[in-house]
């Protein structure tokens, strides 16, 4: 079975082509073909990069904003030139990461006109993602005409208990679908299942805290294989301090800025999403690597940004711990979670009273899909390379 996965972001798109023979394995095979499109470097210019499993590479720049035109060129590299791996007609199904599925989609679904309308209507809740997700769906519809599957980032969290999902505002918020949806669900689901495999345990028996720490950050408390609490909320802006997003702040601050400082809604949106977090406090960057480099040169604001980041990470781990009533494993994933031993050490340090012990040598050895806790630690500490694209492919496999 040939499964094409499209993982579209606001300024980039990753694509993978998998060839599955027989039953689908849990561990991902190497993709036959990988493609990436990046619009972030030059406005109106799409940079295409392609690589095959045999090492063939292709790069090209196209002066266009047309998703359909770029998708056509990208798909052509699957079946033409030095990067040809199959004919396009051999693709059986295409899976899409869709950021917001709203209240009605609790699992992945085959894409129909009704599903497309829902994705479009939810664009107000995920304006940077749902429209590009939909554009990718429509481009594939035009070019390939095969079965397409929507894999929602919110679906994994949709069975959270009401006490965790409902905000303490007026009850008519619930009637307006203003609830905590949670995000990074594809990553959280994959990492939970991978954690059980690494530990040799039944996922249904485990209490896990997943720490997805990238440019966007969220935690998920997972019990019996289900998300029972998470840090992101109605939008991906809630919860932890992130690269350029504020995370949770006193809503009174927002009212004050709107009323007293002549701040527009658009300005407030940009401040909270693009000029806050590590970037806003440090004044340097949203990239943790650059924050650390500035700290090494004595930059006090960079140090403050890191201190706030760690404080809030510890605080929310404690909140997730309370929801679970205990902990079997703490999981770190995504760019910062996978690559920063200092963040992992700092996050675990306050929980030594629970018996959480990190093996320092394992922690600094660039672990991937490894347990870095000491042998006598009461809680396992895992570093897992998140595989969202493969999780999407696994979801697609169920439908074909």
H-assigned helices in the chain: 67-79, 113-121, 130-143, 162-165, 172-175, 185-199, 251-260, 265-274, 277-282, 288-296, 300-324, 334-339, 341-348, 360-363, 388-397
Q: Is 359 a catalytic residue?
A: no
Question: Can you tell me whether residue 379 is helix, strand or coil?
Answer: strand
d(CA 151, CA 156): 10
Ramachandran assignment for 81, one of left (phi > 0), alpha (psi -120 to 50 degrees), beta (any other): left
d(CA 1, CA 5): 13
User: Using an 8 Å Cβ cutoff, are 160 and 106 in contact?
Assistant: no
d(CA 65, CA 180): 33
Of 156, 47, 143, 178, nearest to 106 by C-alpha is: 156
Of 90, 192, 198, nearest to 146 by C-alpha is: 90
| Residue partners of 89: CB distance under 8 A and separation at least 6 | none
Catalytic residue among 19, 65, 153, 238: 153
Q: What positions carry a catalytic annotation? A: 153
């Amino acid at each position: 079975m040939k499964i094409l996965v499209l993982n579209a972001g606001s300024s980039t798109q990753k694509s993978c082509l998998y060839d599955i023979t027989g039953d689908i394995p849990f561990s991902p095979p190497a993709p036959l073909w990988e493609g990436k499109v990046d619009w972030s470097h030059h406005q109106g210019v799409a940079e295409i990069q392609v690589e095959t499993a045999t090492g063939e590479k292709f790069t090209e720049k196209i002066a266009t904003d047309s998703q359909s035109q770029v998708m056509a060129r990208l798909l052509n590299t699957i079946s033409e030139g030095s990067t040809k791996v199959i004919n396009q007609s051999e693709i059986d199904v295409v899976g899409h990461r869709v950021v917001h599925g709203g209240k009605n989609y609790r699992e992945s679904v085959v894409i129909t006109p009704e599903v497309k309308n829902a994705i479009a209507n939810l664009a107000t809740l995920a304006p940077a993602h749902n429209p590009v997700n939909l554009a990718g769906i429509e481009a594939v519809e035009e070019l390939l005409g095969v079965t397409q599957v929507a894999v929602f980032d919110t679906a994994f969290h949709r069975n959270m208990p009401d006490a965790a999902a409902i905000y303490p505002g007026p009850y008519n918020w619930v009637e307006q679908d203003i609830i905590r949806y949670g995000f990074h669900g594809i990553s959280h689901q994959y990492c939970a299942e991978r954690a059980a495999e690494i530990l040799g345990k039944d996922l249904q028996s485990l209490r896990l805290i997943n720490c997805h720490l990238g440019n966007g950050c969220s935690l998920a408390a997972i019990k019996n294989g289900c998300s029972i609490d998470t840090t992101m909320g109605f939008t991906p802006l809630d919860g932890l301090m992130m690269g350029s997003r504020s995370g949770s702040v006193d809503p009174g601050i927002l009212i004050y800025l709107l009323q007293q400082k002549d701040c527009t809604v658009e300005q407030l949106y940009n401040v909270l999403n693009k000029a806050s977090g590590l970037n806003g406090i440090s004044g340097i960057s949203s990239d943790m690597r650059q924050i650390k480099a500035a700290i090494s040169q004595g930059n006090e604001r960079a140090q403050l940004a890191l201190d706030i980041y760690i404080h809030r990470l510890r605080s929310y781990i404690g909140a997730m711990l309370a929801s679970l009533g205990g902990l079997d494993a703490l999981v770190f994933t995504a760019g910062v979670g996978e690559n920063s031993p200092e963040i992992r050490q700092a996050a675990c340090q306050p929980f030594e009273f629970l018996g959480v012990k990190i093996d320092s040598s394992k922690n600094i050895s660039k672990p991937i899909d490894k347990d870095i806790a000491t042998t006598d630690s009461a809680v396992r500490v895992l570093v897992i390379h998140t595989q969202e694209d493969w999780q999407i492919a696994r979801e697609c496999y169920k439908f074909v």
